[in-house]
Amino acid sequence: MRYAFVTFGCRLNRAEALEMEAAVSVAGHDVVPVDAVPPPDFIVVRGCSVTAKAQHDCEKELARLRSRYPASEIIPTGCLPAAAPLDRLNAINGFNGLNALKGLKGSRAFLKIQDGCSGKCTYCIVPQFRGPPVSVPFDLVLDRARTCLAAGFREIVVTGCNLALYRDGGRSFADLLAALAVLPPPDGSTGEPAIAPGTIHRVRIGSIEPGLCDEAVLETFAAHGNICRHLHLSLQSASNRVLRLMNRPYSAEEVAEFCLQCRQRIAPDFTFGADVIAGFPGETDADHAMTAEFLSRQTEDLPIFTNIHVFPYSERPGTPAATFVGTVPMQKRKARAKELQEIGHRNRNILADSFIGRKAVVCIEKGGSGWTDRYLRCVVPTGLPRRRLVQLRIISAQDGTLCANADA
């Protein structure tokens, strides 16, 4: 059988799609492009419904695929009302999760550890599709991570619907993070340069809820130098009034204190990403100004938020926020989003410029580039081995992207 994959949305969707793709390959089937000739037998679409627009885009693509490839079976998965359960993919015979991971493509291994959410955010419908929190067993996560290392991956990206809710047998997300950080090198890899004492790999955390990221997580970061000094926070707003309307479990002051603690206790150039919603119902110009000011903050002349994802608010039928009064006109939502995006762009440029003349460890990807642990894209010399972590000297920066040479 021949399979093609189309994926929308977040890192969790990407992790699930890559694992499914690997499972197909290990089971003896072919993974082909959507536009392959002849057409694929199955087209698996992992969709997203985080906003009404995202769901509309997915449904539009499903309709296009059904029209263009009538002989292919289109299988919607992920966060979509029409999503098929995983066992719907009954053509994938002999699936073995650990063996499948050996077939993962790409340069970084996306490792799903958790699914589902118990939050009651007024704008979010994801819990209706993902269900309550469910954690992958602790030992199984470690087994999968070992398999990724044995397959040659040197950066493991930990993903989940709400990572901070991870629990297994009394062990928390911080416990799992520490265990992942100290995994020994696979056999035959002892000759690779270590990026921290006793290890040749690093761990990156996907998006996490700021109100649930506790003291234990901070201590784990501080204890393990191979955990990337970057966190992407689901911030959404820095106005406490708007956060209450969203039913978010934290205040702007609590987030600010957490970021400050990260820089004081872990690294002075610890960086953060942020998801932000612009133009939430009831958001005033003053509320927006609070968020803009918050995202512009610096310590030691370095911006705190350097990877800002901004979404103009999109009404999502079925959520409480869709019925709220105080609708912000779409034109104003987009204008506010653009202003916040410009702050993120400026912050990223400042951070990138600060690395000129310094050394950075880069996870090498195909195409002559890679990622630093502060989540900056870096153009690298040709011929470097893909998936490996290589220490390079940064010689220049342009538009938030670093350029390195091999003289480390």
* Mean pLDDT in consecutive groups of 10 residues from the start of the chain, 408 residues: 80 70 71 85 80 78 88 79 49 43 66 87 83 90 89 89 91 96 79 70 90 86 94 96 96 95 94 96 98 96 95 89 95 97 97 96 90 95 88 95 82
Cα 209 to chain centroid distance, Å, stands at 12
**Quick one: 49 and 121 in the same domain?**
no
| Residues 6 or more apart in contact with residue 170 via CB below 8 angstroms | none
Q: Report the chain's C-alpha Rg in angstroms.
A: 21
Asked whether residue 282 is domain-assigned, the answer is yes
pLDDT of 61 reads 85
**Quick one: 364 and 217 in the same domain?**
no
How would you class 207 by CB atoms within 10 Å of its CB: exposed for 0-12, middle for 13-18, buried for 19 or more? buried
H-helix or E-strand spanning residue 25: helix 11-26
Q: How many domains does the chain have?
A: 3
Q: What distance in Å separates the CA atoms of residue 107 and residue 156, rounded to the nearest whole number? A: 10
DSSP label of 89: -
**Domain edge (last residue) among 35, 54, 88:** 88
Q: Which two tokens stand for residue 29?
A: 């089937």
**Quick one: 184 and 49 in the same domain?**
no
pLDDT of 88 reads 39
Q: Which domain holds residue 41?
A: 2-88
pLDDT of 190 reads 58
The verdict on whether omega for the bond into residue 40 sits within 30 degrees of 0, i.e. cis, is: no
Residue whose structure tokens are 């010689």: 395
Tally the residues of the chain.
Answer: 408
**Quick one: 332 and 371 in the same domain?**
no
